[in-house]
Amino acid sequence: MCPQCNRRLRLSLYIHDGRYKSCPECSGKRGIHVYHHFPDEFGWRNDIIQSWCKACRTHGTMPQGITCP
């Protein structure tokens, strides 16, 4: 569970009017919801938004993101 909002870390949550989405993998690793800019830092597969951020899918490094407010 996220210590800030008490919701499961593996949920995809949106904040700032949908401009940021949480990454389930980043959130799980850091123990708090971690949000990245949406949709730029996620990307699409056909018409479906990717759940994990680009960094988690490619093992790359990603800007810090923002943690659960």
Pairing of the two strands 44-45 and 48-49:
antiparallel
- Residue 2 interacts with Zn ion (CB under 5 A): yes or no: yes
> What residues contact residue 6 under an 8 Å CB cut-off, 6+ apart?
none
Q: How far is the CB of 46 from Zn ion (least distance, A)?
A: 20
**Of these, 33, 35, 41, 42, which contacts Zn ion (CB under 5 A)?**
33
Distance CA 69, CA 65 (A): 12
Q: Is 53 in the site for Zn ion (CB under 5 A)?
A: yes
| Contact set with Zn ion (CB under 5 A) | 2, 4-5, 23, 25-26, 33, 53, 56, 68
